[in-house]
A = this chain, B = another copy of it.
Amino acid sequence: MSELETTIDDRFPAYRSALFELLAQPSISATGDGMEQCAELLLSMLDGYPFDRVERIETSRYSLVYAERTVDESAPTVAFYGHYDVQPPGERDEWESPAFEPTVRDGSIYARGAGDNKGQFLAHAFALDALTGADADPAVNVKLLVEGGEESGSLGLIEYLRGEPTELADADLVYVADGPMHASRRPTIIYGNRGIVSYQLDLETANSDLHSGNFGGPTPNAANELVEVLSSMFDGDEVTVDGFSEDVEISAADRELVGTIPVDEDALKSELGIDEFATDDPYYERLLLRPTMTVSGLSSGYQGEGKKTIVPHRATAKLDSRLVPNQDPERVLQRITEHVERENPNVEVTKMGSFPPMKTPLDTPASTPLAAALGTVWDEDPVEMPLLGGSLPAAYFRSELDVPVLVVPYANPDQGNHSPNEHLDVDCFRNGIETTARFLERVPTEL
């Protein structure tokens, strides 16, 4: 057993106690509950680890908590990102043990925030501690930025990154441990994420719903018209809006990589209750490399039991489009708006939100030592994913700071983040600490 492993194992009870202390402190950004106390606790906790400087960074929303250890001004800098806020716990009786009383059962730590994200970002601090304890101080500078609003839109983080983020000015890499590992429980590296643009289509054709006997035929019907506009925007799995996909590029390397991601399609269908997938394309190619046009809500006329013989005067559709690298949310929405305007100038398009896609090159220098670190700790090659299907605030580090971002989830696939009985397997927590440490040992001094 290496000196590093011995140190981690010796100090593991202390690391677990520190995690439990942080988990016992509620920190719900949606309501503000416990946020200030959690930031204070985290600041004093990080002071106990081998950082040179621990600071609070104010934003107009929740504070950021920042810690750094500088080994050499000329060495590269790895910035770790995490978040100390958690999802609301939900109903007490859906939890086997209370959400803010961390409890170990069957080798897992049960608590709100265990995996998402307190157990994951603390692993970085513990890794630095273990490395120092094993006399293996890393050759790179280490920074840790923990935000308080990830579950509520990361507004404070975005404000910080769009301001003058001097603390991160010299970062050469942003490293994010968040989310669950791949369903196969193999270690996982994710190089980016799809973006999103959400929008709403509204149509009003008269000043009230009309009787379908007295008026049906000559009078316009908002539901019928909106259905026709929507159907002009896609055809099965194809988006038919002119220019929608103009910036989409699928590289041979990405296509090859997604082909290596394991997927049990039959198990997935059975779990989700799906007869057939929407496309014959390979599952992960469709999920990760191509944009979407998803109607997420439809509403018009009478929706109760039975029937009501009306011609609806209003109809609304909510949509989101997941975007892949090179697509710009604003440009995509512009194309959609132009299309809708051509189809039916009375339909109003309203932007509901957006998030850029993010992509770190597969051959970024940090990927080789990271894959080696994961292989050593888990005794298995990592699953490498060119993108996540969903969106991550980590994308803002790439878009605002223009640094490579790697996402390395440490939590078990069934962590249940955002659900009752969230839990982080004890071995995942331990291996997460070792992964950060082994990565810091291996990361090259040229990044």
Option from B223, B283, B290, B390 in Cβ contact (under 8 Å) with A296: B223
Contact between chains at B277 and A218 (CB < 8 Å): yes
Other-chain contact of A230, B227, B293, B320 (Cβ < 8 Å): B227
Are B307 and A212 neighbours in the complex by a CB distance under 8 Å? no
Q: Does A301 sit at the interface, judged by CB under 8 A? A: yes
- Which residues of chain A from 300 to 320 have any CB-CB distance to chain B below 8 Å in the complex? 300-303, 306-313, 315-318, 320
- By the criterion CB–CB under 8 Å, are B228 and A228 in contact? no
Q: Decide yes or no whether A98 CB sits under 8 A from chain B.
A: no
Q: Smallest Cβ distance from A78 to chain B, in angstroms?
A: 27
* Contacting pair B292 A217 (CB below 8 A): yes
In contact, A287 and B217 (Cβ under 8 angstroms): yes
Q: Across the interface, name the chain B residue whose C-beta is closest to A205.
A: B274
Least Cβ–Cβ distance between A123 and chain B, in angstroms = 24
With a CB–CB cut-off of 8 A, which chain B residues contact A210? 272
Are B220's CB and A307's CB within 8 A?
no
A243 to chain B, nearest CB (A): 20
Q: A87-126 vs B: 1/0 string, CB under 8 Å? A: 0000000000000000000000000000000000000000
Instruction: Please state if A297 and B223 are interface contacts (CB–CB under 8 Å).
Output: yes
User: CA A308 – CA B91 in complex, angstroms?
Assistant: 21
Question: Are the C-beta atoms of B297 and A217 separated by less than 8 Å?
Answer: no
Which residue in B207, B208, B236, B311 is a CB contact (below 8 Å) of A294?
B311
Q: How far is the CA of A200 from the CA of B213 in the complex (A)?
A: 18
User: Which residues on the B side are within 8 Å of A275 (C-beta)?
Assistant: 205, 220, 346
Structural contact, B298 and A227, CB atoms closer than 8 A = yes
A303 neighbours in B (Cβ, 8 Å): 297-299, 316, 318
The reply to whether the CB of A295 lies closer than 8 angstroms to some CB of chain B is yes
A115 to chain B, nearest CB (A): 16
Instruction: Evaluate whether A224 and B234 lie within 8 angstroms (CB atoms) in the complex, with A297-B312, A307-B320, A311-B294 already known.
Output: yes
Q: Are A196 and B389 in contact (CB under 8 A)?
A: no
Contact B308 A272 (CB under 8 A): no
Query: Interface digits, A209-222 against B, CB 8 Å rule (1 contact, 0 not)?
Result: 01111111111110
In the complex, which residues 325-360 of chain A have their Cβ closer than 8 Å to any Cβ of chain B? 346, 352-353
**A278 on interface, CB distance cutoff 8 Å:** yes
Q: Known contacts A227-B295, A287-B215, A389-B217; is A353 also within 8 Å of B307 by CB?
A: yes
Q: Which of B193, B226, B278, B310 contacts A219 (CB 8 A)?
A: B278
Q: Assess whether A224 is in contact with B346, with CB atoms less than 8 Å apart.
A: no
B292 touches A301 (CB 8 A): no
A307 to B295, alpha carbons, bound, how many Å?
11
In the bound assembly, the distance between CA atoms of A287 and B105 in angstroms comes to 69
Bound Cα distance from A100 to B296, whole angstroms: 48
Q: List 14 A-B contacts (CB under 8 A).
A: A212-B292, A213-B322, A215-B272, A218-B287, A219-B277, A219-B278, A220-B277, A221-B278, A221-B295, A227-B230, A275-B346, A297-B301, A297-B308, A298-B300
